[in-house]
């Protein structure tokens, strides 16, 4: 088993300490520590933030990425088999999600979007809980406080405000944890995201805006959302930013550690643009051939985040048969657990529909529940009641 | 007459409006190359160009707010809100700006904006993709709110909405997009049933059953099933939720003496509440029983495994009809 504490405690683990307040790094250059060919290239500042990452931890990052790609494949298969209603693949975004999530401390709080299933996995969300909402068995799969991950947001951009408010709470409490908002390139067009940046900057809230620029918002290219690099937007709000190769797990980890460290030490918000690519469809209901060029996909396949770490491990002589076997075994086990958890998920009961609308009983709803249970009871066989009628 | 799906009928109506009036502009997320997530705008950008069929940034308040400016400038924007649950970021622009501009400027500035909203449930979607937000808008003066229930109306009413100088919220029942029907594309808008009129779908004498959008089909099916039991239901497709064509409803209720209203949205403060109160005021002495509402529950739209319980189906509607008729029903013996 690989242990990972590569992500625990950024600065303490050997980072260069206080970068808080460093405002100078704006968009422009794309920070890269591993080339698409798998070469480790050096960077004067970012290197300092990942110098503690041991060979073993590098293998662990590789394993995580393979596992979440496997979760994605398995969930897609489950969708095709009718076990899930829908699934939003993260194929291609593994390094962004693993590199960033592994840079967080357990008491940091994540506000993700629907696509951030890799982040949920790293934070320890149960596998079946990851797909519960996509199966239609709940609106959200987990209790946020058990894993310090808010439920996945579908309204584009809303969670950036929630993360900022949470961070303001952290600040009030005098704590040193950090809130992290995950969102896409399209989200940056929403008013909520601008307002979140206004609040975060005004209050110097300990929040990290982690934008995965995967180049597409359903069918809309990133150019439709912004004519400057997304990272450069932050400057207008007075928020320092970084633009990193989102397919490079080390670069992402370094950037996230810098941002987290700044937030922890009172330096306020940071905006990270992780430049990556959504290699699959938007969701299993989407048809990307209608709007995107096959060549573009090929170009990005050559920058695959997993392949490049694999090459790096190979160069370092770390890609042993033993490692490959261990990684494959882990991916198999996770896929199996995900499948079993999905298929054996308990079905919700009809009257569950009335649960948790309010935290205290409400007479209007009690009446509706009473009437509906009488209605169900009026059928001889309760299983037949309201069969599929409503959806017709 | 041509057989076409609901989605195709709207597409065809949009095409006609684009052809007939150069001031018509379509805007929305993903409506261009993709043709919208439901393909309702399929092919329109290809044929009319990127200036007439505009893929907008991902910003609903921005979409409606810029449509306001375009309308100021003499355009007739037709915007698509991708799903019902995404209209809320635009709510302020709709209720504070779109609805009030004409009033505010004493009629000087018109807001001929059509806001297309795929709405309602029954397709097993995730959260925010199955909502029925119509009552928020019927409560706001200055807006027209309509919902279509069949391809012919979809085709005609989209053109009437675009031609209207008032802002129109045009609610499309997404679970019916693939249903087919006859559409007469040569229909003259001038002779078609006006946008704000209700339509009697099936005549009957025992009960008036009012529905709109996705539930018109369910209501019609319920009427057929009831006929087998000797109950004669008059089904009315409300079509315009604001303003309401009370004349048609009153005439029906005076005849039948009983009213059942059905919609997917939750009950409290909903369209059904308004209809029940208004009809009671207008037809009190003709009513043989209190109006009955068969609606979604007052719960957030539930996860898809339970949505069939939330959505009024044929049996629940018939149970409501039994209540209106005083026949044995699931609430027999209970008061109210
Ligand atoms: C407020 C709102 N508007 C529209 C949508 C429909 N929608 C879902 S995902 C999406 C694209 C989002 O793109 P981006 O922010 O780049 O994230 P990605 O899906 O690429 O990860 C859209 C338009 C939504 N969920 N919420």
Contact B58 A154 (CB under 8 A): no
What lies within 8 Å, CB to CB, of A367 at 6+ separation is none
Could you identify the atom of ligand 1 that is nearest to the CA of residue A222? 16
The answer on pLDDT for A390 being more than 60 is yes
Count A/B contacts: CB-CB distance under 8 Å.
161
> C-alpha dihedral over B244, B247, B248, B250, to 10 degrees?
100
Map residue A150 onto helix, strand or coil: coil
The Cα of B35 is separated from the nearest Cα of chain A by a number of Å equal to 9
Ligand 1 pocket (Cβ < 6 Å) reads A 115, 154-156, 183-187, 214, 216-218, 278, 282; B 29, 58, 60, 82, 86, 89
Q: Read off the pLDDT of residues A218-227 as tens digits, 9 standing for 90 and up.
A: 999 999 999 9
Map residue B331 onto helix, strand or coil: coil
Q: Which of A157, A217, A219, A274 to mutate to test the pocket of ligand 1 (most atoms within 8 A of CB)?
A: A217
Give the span between the Cα atoms of A18 and A22, in whole angstroms. 9
Give the span between the Cα atoms of B46 and B55, in whole angstroms. 12
Ligand 1 centroid distance, CA of B82 (Å): 10
Q: Read off the pLDDT of residues A174-215 as tens digits, 9 standing for 90 and up.
A: 999 999 999 999 999 999 999 999 999 999 999 999 999 999
Structure tokens at A382: 């309760």
Is residue A85 less than 8 Å (CB to CB) from chain B? yes
CB A354 within 8 A of CB A368: yes
Give the span between the Cα atoms of B290 and B326, in whole angstroms. 10
The answer on pLDDT for A17 being more than 50 is no
How high is the pLDDT of residue A21? 38
Q: What is the mean pLDDT of residues A316-328?
A: 97
A299 C-beta neighbours (distance < 10 Å), count? 11
Give the span between the Cα atoms of B320 and B261, in whole angstroms. 9
Is residue A368 less than 8 Å (CB to CB) from chain B? yes
Name the A residues in 122-181 with CB < 8 Å from any B CB: 133-140, 154-156
Contact A371 B305 (CB under 8 A): no
Chain B contact set for A215 (CB, 8 A): none
Q: Read off the pLDDT of residues A329-366 as tens digits, 9 standing for 90 and up.
A: 999 999 999 999 999 999 999 999 999 999 999 999 99
CB B325 within 8 A of CB B231: yes
How high is the pLDDT of residue A384? 60
pTM here?
Answer: 0.92
Contact A368 B85 (CB under 8 A): no
Give the confidence band of A7 by pLDDT, cuts at 50, 70, 90. Answer: very low
Chain A contact set for B302 (CB, 8 A): 139, 353
Give the confidence band of A1 by pLDDT, cuts at 50, 70, 90. Answer: very low
Q: Read off the pLDDT of residues A97-123 as tens digits, 9 standing for 90 and up.
A: 999 999 999 999 999 999 999 999 999
The answer on pLDDT for A3 being more than 50 is no
The answer on pLDDT for A12 being more than 70 is no
Tell which of B297, B311, B333, B336 to mutate to test the A interface (max A CBs under 10 Å).
B297
Q: Read off the pLDDT of residues B121-151 as tens digits, 9 standing for 90 and up.
A: 999 999 999 999 999 999 999 999 999 999 9
Could you identify the atom of ligand 1 that is nearest to the CA of residue A217? 13
Ligand 1 centroid distance, CA of A235 (Å): 24
Q: Which residue has the higher pLDDT, A18 or A310?
A: A310
Query: What distance, in Å, lies between the first and last C-alpha atoms of chain A?
Result: 50
Q: What is the ipTM of this complex?
A: 0.90
The question of whether B129 is a catalytic residue gets the answer yes
Residue of chain A nearest B297, judged by CA positions: A368
Residue of chain A nearest B130, judged by CA positions: A391
Query: DSSP state, A149?
Result: B
Structure tokens at B169: 């919220």
* CA angle centred on B176, ends B175 and B178, rounded to 5°: 105
> From the candidates A25, A69, A282, A339, which is the catalytic residue?
A282
Nearest to A222 by CA among A191, A254, A189, A263: A189
Give the span between the Cα atoms of A161 and A192, in whole angstroms. 7
The Cα of A25 is separated from the nearest Cα of chain B by a number of Å equal to 27
Contact B330 A377 (CB under 8 A): yes
What lies within 8 Å, CB to CB, of A205 at 6+ separation is A164, A167, A168, A170, A171, A179, A199, A268, A269
Tell me the H-state helices in chain B.
6-20, 44-48, 60-72, 91-92, 101-104, 134-138, 151-163, 215-228, 246-256, 271-283, 307-310, 314-325
Query: What distance, in Å, lies between the first and last C-alpha atoms of chain B?
Result: 47
B6 C-beta neighbours (distance < 10 Å), count? 28
Contact A391 B267 (CB under 8 A): no
The Cα of A376 is separated from the nearest Cα of chain B by a number of Å equal to 8
A114 C-beta neighbours (distance < 10 Å), count? 22
Could you identify the atom of ligand 1 that is nearest to the CA of residue B29? 23
DSSP secondary structure letters along B130-184: S---HHHHHTSTT-EEEE--SHHHHHHHHHHHHH-SS-EEEEEEGGGTT-EEEE-
């Amino acid at each position: 088993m690989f242990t990972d504490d590569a992500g625990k405690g950024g600065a303490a683990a050997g980072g260069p300490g206080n970068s808080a307040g460093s405002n100078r790094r704006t968009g422009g250059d794309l920070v890269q520590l591993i080339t698409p060919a798998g070469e480790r290239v050096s960077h004067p500042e970012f290197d300092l933030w990942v110098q503690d990452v041991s060979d073993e931890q590098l293998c662990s990052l590789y394993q995580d990425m393979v596992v979440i790609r496997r979760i994605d494949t398995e969930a897609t298969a489950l969708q095709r088999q009718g076990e899930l209603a829908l699934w939003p693949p993260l194929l291609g975004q593994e390094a962004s999600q693993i590199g960033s999530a592994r840079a967080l401390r357990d008491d940091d709080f994540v506000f993700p979007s629907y696509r951030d299933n890799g982040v949920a996995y790293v934070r320890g969300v149960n596998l079946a809980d990851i797909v519960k909402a996509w199966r239609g068995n709940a609106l959200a799969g987990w209790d946020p406080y058990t894993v310090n991950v808010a439920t996945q947001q579908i309204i584009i951009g809303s969670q950036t405000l929630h993360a900022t408010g949470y961070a303001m709470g952290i600040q009030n409490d005098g704590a040193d944890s950090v809130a992290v908002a995950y969102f896409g390139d399209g989200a940056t067009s929403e008013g909520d995201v601008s307002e979140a940046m206004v609040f975060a900057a005004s209050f110097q809230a300990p929040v990290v805006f982690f934008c995965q620029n995967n180049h597409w918002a359903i069918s809309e290219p990133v150019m439709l959302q912004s004519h400057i690099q997304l990272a450069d937007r932050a400057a207008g709000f007075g928020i320092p930013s970084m633009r990193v190769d989102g397919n490079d797990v080390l670069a992402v980890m370094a950037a996230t550690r810098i941002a987290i460290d700044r937030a922890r030490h009172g330096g306020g918000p940071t905006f990270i643009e992780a430049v990556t690519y959504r290699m699959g469809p938007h969701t299993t209901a989407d048809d990307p051939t209608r709007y995107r060029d096959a060549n573009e996909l090929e170009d990005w396949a050559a920058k695959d985040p997993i392949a490049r770490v694999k090459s790096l491990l190979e160069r370092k002589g770390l890609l042993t048969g033993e490692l490959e076997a261990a990684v494959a075994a882990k991916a198999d086990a996770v896929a199996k657990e995900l499948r079993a958890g999905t298929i054996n998920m308990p079905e919700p009961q009809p009257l569950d529909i009335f649960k948790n609308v309010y935290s205290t009983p409400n007479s209007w709803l009690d009446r509706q529940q009473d009437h509906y249970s009488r209605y169900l009871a009026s059928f001889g066989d309760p299983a037949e009641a309201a069969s599929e009628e409503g959806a017709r | 007459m041509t057989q076409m799906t609901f989605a195709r009928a709207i597409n065809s109506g949009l095409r006609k409006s684009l052809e007939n009036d150069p001031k018509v502009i379509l805007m929305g997320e993903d409506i261009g190359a993709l043709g919208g997530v439901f393909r309702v705008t399929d092919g329109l950008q290809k044929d009319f160009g990127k200036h007439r069929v505009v893929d907008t940034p991902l910003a609903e308040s921005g979409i409606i707010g810029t449509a306001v400016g375009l309308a100021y400038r003499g355009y007739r924007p037709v915007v698509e809100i991708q799903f019902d649950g995404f209209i809320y970021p635009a709510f302020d622009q709709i209720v504070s700006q779109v609805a009030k501009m004409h009033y505010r400027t004493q009629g000087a500035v018109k807001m001929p904006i059509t806001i297309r909203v795929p709405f309602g449930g029954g397709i097993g979607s995730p959260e925010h993709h199955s909502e029925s937000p119509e009552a928020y808008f019927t409560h706001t003066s200055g807006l027209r709110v309509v919902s279509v229930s069949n391809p012919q109306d979809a085709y005609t009413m989209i053109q009437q909405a675009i031609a209207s100088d008032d802002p129109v919220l045009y609610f499309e029942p997404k679970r019916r997009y693939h249903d087919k029907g006859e559409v007469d594309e040569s229909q003259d808008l001038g002779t078609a049933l006006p946008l704000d009129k209700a339509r009697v779908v099936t005549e009957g004498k025992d009960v008036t059953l009012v529905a709109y959008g996705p539930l018109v089909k369910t209501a019609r099916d319920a009427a057929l099933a009831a006929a087998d039991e000797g109950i004669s239901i008059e089904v009315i497709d409300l079509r315009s939720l604001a303003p309401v064509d009370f004349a048609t409803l009153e005439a029906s209720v005076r005849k039948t003496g009983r009213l059942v209203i059905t919609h997917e949205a939750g009950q409290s403060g909903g369209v059904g509440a308004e209809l029940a109160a208004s009809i009671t005021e207008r037809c009190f002495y003709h009513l043989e029983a209190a109006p009955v509402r068969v609606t979604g529950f007052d719960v957030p739209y539930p996860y898809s495994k339970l949505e069939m319980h939330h959505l009024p189906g044929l049996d629940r509607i018939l149970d409501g009809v039994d209540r209106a008729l005083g026949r044995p029903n699931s609430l027999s013996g209970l008061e109210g």
